[in-house]
Amino acid sequence: MRAWLSWMLALALAGCFPTGPDFLNARQPRGLRVLGAVSQPASGAPGAQLGLSLELFDGASLLAELRSAAAASAGLPGPEPEEPRGPLSVAWLGGCHNPPGDAQAGCYPLLQLLAAELPDPLPGSLAEVGSELRPYLGLGTTFSLSIPPDILDGRQLDTAAPPFGVSFTFFAVCAGVLRPEPGASGVPLRCEDRNSGEPLGPEAFVRGFVTTYTYSGVTNAAPALLAATVEGEVPTERACETDADCQGLTAGELPLACGQPLAAPLVVEGEPPAAALRCLPRLPPCTGFPCASLELRPELAAGSIELDVTAAAPGRAVPEEIVWVKYFGFGVFDHSEVLINDRASGFNPDYALRWSPPAVAVDSPLPVWAVVQDNRGGTSIARWDILVRE
């Protein structure tokens, strides 16, 4: 019976999106996801410090809310409520520079050495870690990366491009407890349920790495975003208590309503702070054609497209860098990835997203992210929180 109900609910969910089922879309964070890693500054310098940070989101509760609303709309019993997730655990393992072949796999021997020295389980604070490990271990959504003063020594290639060094910083995000796992390939950490000790799967455990380049005499700036516009306008930022406080406010012709934006996803201890209510864009659910849609645009600042001297060829003009945007979130997208600047075709001004709401109203705002990146490690992230209400 449960299998039959799950199948019927899946069919109902498919009907919630006018362009087809979107719950299997890879751009939708169905569980815990790392949407992007931001480096400040975007490239290193010998002897410098860089700040790395992760944009995280756990989509499990919002997906459950959408499924319940879809089931109710179809007259079907909703899915069984899931236990709320506990605090997230985030760890970084750094200190790998210029590995063999300039590939992240060349860092694995170092990671194994670190894993053998890590406390089990990983603590909540670096104060509980020996001083010899602190340069290599980070806890929380940010990490301070130290670039060695000699990272460029012996790195000059037989080209016109300046020499460069490469650094890899690995991370793990877990909706439970992180524990070292020496001998595991890649990031030698595992993720366990806080209560049962059972291993958690990919919907609750994400591992990855950040690549940082250091150039001789050259710096890379991340794509600069001026605003996250809706229908060509920046929504008015205003605190509110009820919809009446947003009366008359619009983004284009779109009215604003009072809602709670997404709070910061990481909680190491205790409960997450409640986000203040704000006036957010509001759109009715899509229950028939044509569906209302919004233009969402991460507005690039002039000069965001830089010359890429690292790709210079002897006797030729210095080319521009490659820049693209990837969109993630809930709702219906007209596309999920757009090339903004290409060395062959040049700048593409039509990189905005056309977004449509699902067919059901939900209490929580639906997030949409734009992750704008360049080919030298620069990343900038914009986010919209959109209310879908009658």
The continuous run of DSSP H or E covering 73 comes out as helix 60-73
Residue type, 378: G
Q: How far is CA 53 from CA 70, 90, 305, 381, in A?
A: 35, 11, 23, 11
DSSP per-residue letters across 350-373: --PEEEE--SS--SSPEEEEEEEE
Whether the Cβ atoms of residue 243 and residue 257 lie closer than 8 Å to each other: yes
Total residues belonging to the chain: 390
The distance in angstroms from the start CA to the end CA of the chain is 33
pLDDT along the chain (390 residues), means of 10: 34 33 59 93 95 92 87 81 77 97 95 95 90 93 96 77 90 96 93 94 95 92 94 90 93 89 55 72 87 92 89 83 95 92 94 94 93 95 93
Output the pLDDT for position 297. 97
DSSP per-residue letters across 152-211: TTT---SSSSPPEEEEEEEEEEESSEEEE-TT-SSS-EEEE-TTT-PBP-TTSEEEEEEE
Output the pLDDT for position 67. 87
Domains in the chain (CATH in brackets) are 2-215 (no CATH), 225-388 (2.60.40)
12-65 per-position pLDDT tens digit? 333 333 333 343 455 788 889 999 999 999 999 999 999 999 999 988 888 888
Residue type, 32: L
Output the pLDDT for position 25. 57
| Whole-angstrom distance, CA of residue 222 vs CA of residue 254 | 31
Between helix 2-14 and helix 60-73 the angle, nearest 10°, is: 90
Structure tokens at 22: 């979107």
Q: How far is CA 204 from CA 140, 153, 174, 192, 266, in A?
A: 16, 41, 6, 9, 13
Which strands sit side by side in the sheet containing 49-58, from one edge to the other?
Answer: 32-40, 49-58, 142-146
Exposed e or buried b for every residue in 148-174, given b needs 16+ CB within 10 A? beebbeebeeeeebbbbbbbbbbbbbb
